[in-house]
């Protein structure tokens, strides 16, 4: 009895705080949780005119959409593309900010350090549409400056963006250009957080500059690297939706079509909502399992993890 009264009193005391949460809680319910319920339409014969009620009432058709997706000749290709593009990005883009941070850290002139940071962080804030525009201006076969140069040097032009052999590398290089500087921030902070006494101790033990980097700086970075690496692996099905959507075209679909672009094309441009939702549900479930798994691993390494 008294417990109930205390709770009532506490709720009154905090009434305003609860009211402050209402807009965000309602927003998340409508725009984040309702779409999760909407994933059930992968198992239903749903049409957008059925509204939200249709998420729960449209006729049940079982795994038909999944059979269509996984049975199609594209499924294997799309999954392979997604994993290969992500894998290339992890292999080449993940280490880049670590190297950049170590290089910036070697500089003794703080003005130079800061200028490099300013310049390398900037592309992070430029949209993929704009970067796509810049790439077209450089690479396009009709008016790209690189092609005009190539014509003069080797006598013919090269269709970079329509070339299946080159396209994935364009994805890797352009994303590295955009994100390498931004990614280095967290490593620079981690380097700054290393106890200077460790360097002094190493120095007393006779370690030269490079041995200090090897035995103090790198181990100091290891926890951050581990956490970010595991989280990046967990996001392996995110191969860069906006980037690919901006840059790809039919000649390179075979090497560039990933799960997200497939969902968009099949769902939004062909109107085959059921199959697209089934592919999307597959991606959400795998993504969720991977993040939970990654978090477990992070905790096993003795760190705090994501949650």
- Cβ-contact 258, 167 below 8 angstroms: no
Both tokens of 152, joined, read: 């003069």
162-181 positions binding other proteins, by CB under 8 A: 162, 177, 180-181
Q: How far is the CB of 205 from other proteins (least distance, A)?
A: 21
Candidates 237, 241, 240; CA nearest to 286 is 237
56-95 positions binding other proteins, by CB under 8 A: none
**Which residue is listed with tokens 């089934």?**
278
Q: How far is the CB of 246 from other proteins (least distance, A)?
A: 7
Question: With CB under 8 A as the contact rule, which of the stretches 32-40, 85-93, 163-171, 215-223 interacts with other proteins?
Answer: 32-40
Question: With CB under 8 A as the contact rule, which of the stretches 65-73, 81-89, 164-172, 281-289 interacts with other proteins?
Answer: 281-289
Contacting other proteins (CB under 8 A), which of 9, 61, 119, 201?
119
**What stretch of H or E contains 195?**
none
- Cβ-contact 224, 186 below 8 angstroms: yes
Contacting other proteins (CB under 8 A), which of 61, 67, 80, 118?
118
**What stretch of H or E contains 161?**
none
206-265 positions binding other proteins, by CB under 8 A: 242, 245-247, 249-250, 260, 263-264
Q: How far is the CB of 108 from other proteins (least distance, A)?
A: 4
Residue 300 sits in the site that holds other proteins (CB under 8 A): no
- Cβ-contact 181, 121 below 8 angstroms: yes
Residue 55 sits in the site that holds other proteins (CB under 8 A): yes
Q: How far is the CB of 85 from other proteins (least distance, A)?
A: 18
Q: How far is the CB of 146 from other proteins (least distance, A)?
A: 8
CA distance 147 to 159: 8
Contacting other proteins (CB under 8 A), which of 158, 236, 287, 303?
287
Cα-to-chain-centroid distance, residue 278:
21
Both tokens of 245, joined, read: 């959507």
- Cβ-contact 42, 60 below 8 angstroms: no
- Residue 60: strand, helix, or coil: strand
Q: How far is the CB of 64 from other proteins (least distance, A)?
A: 16
Number of residues that bind other proteins (CB under 8 A): 100
Which residues lie closer than 8 Å to 225 by C-beta, 6 or more apart?
98, 187
- Cβ-contact 227, 303 below 8 angstroms: yes
Contacting other proteins (CB under 8 A), which of 1, 3, 5, 32?
32
Question: With CB under 8 A as the contact rule, which of the stretches 46-54, 62-70, 194-202, 214-222 interacts with other proteins?
Answer: 46-54
Which is closer to other proteins, CB of 37 or CB of 63?
Answer: 37
CA distance 254 to 77: 7
123-162 positions binding other proteins, by CB under 8 A: 123, 125-127, 129-130, 132-134, 136-138, 140-149, 159, 161-162
9-28 positions binding other proteins, by CB under 8 A: 10-11, 14, 16-18, 20-21, 23-25, 27-28
Q: How far is the CB of 247 from other proteins (least distance, A)?
A: 8
Contacting other proteins (CB under 8 A), which of 86, 120, 212, 217?
120
CA distance 288 to 252: 29
* Three-state secondary structure string covering 19-51: HHHHHHHHHHHHHHHHHHHHHHHHHECCCHHHC
């Amino acid at each position: 009895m008294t417990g109930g009264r205390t709770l009532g009193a506490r709720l009154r005391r905090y009434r305003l705080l609860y009211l402050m949460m209402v807009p965000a809680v309602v927003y998340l319910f409508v725009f984040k949780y309702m779409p999760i319920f909407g994933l059930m339409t992968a198992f239903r014969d749903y049409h957008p005119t059925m509204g939200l009620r249709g998420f729960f009432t449209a006729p049940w058709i079982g795994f038909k959409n999944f059979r269509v997706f996984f049975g199609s000749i594209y499924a294997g290709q799309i999954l392979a593309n997604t994993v290969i593009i992500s894998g290339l990005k992890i292999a080449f883009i993940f280490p880049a900010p670590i190297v950049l941070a170590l290089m910036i850290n070697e500089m003794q002139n703080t003005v130079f350090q800061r200028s490099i940071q300013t310049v390398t962080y900037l592309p992070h804030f430029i949209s993929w549409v704009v970067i796509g525009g810049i790439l077209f201006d450089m690479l396009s076969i009709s008016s790209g400056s690189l092609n005009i140069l190539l014509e003069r040097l080797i006598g013919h032009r090269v269709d970079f963006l329509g070339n299946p052999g080159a396209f994935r590398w364009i994805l890797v290089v352009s994303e590295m250009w955009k994100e390498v500087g931004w990614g280095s921030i967290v490593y620079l902070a981690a380097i700054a957080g290393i106890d200077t006494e460790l360097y002094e101790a190493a120095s007393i033990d006779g370690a030269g500059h490079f041995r200090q980097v090897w035995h103090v700086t790198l181990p100091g970075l290891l926890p951050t690297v581990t956490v970010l690496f595991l989280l990046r692996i967990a996001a392996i099905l995110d191969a860069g939706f906006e980037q690919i959507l901006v840059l790809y075209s039919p000649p390179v679909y075979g090497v560039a079509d990933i799960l997200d672009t497939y969902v968009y094309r099949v769902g939004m441009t062909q109107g085959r909502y059921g199959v697209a939702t089934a592919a999307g549900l597959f991606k959400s479930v795998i993504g969720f399992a991977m993040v939970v798994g990654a978090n477990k691993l992070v905790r096993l390494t003795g760190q705090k993890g994501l949650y």
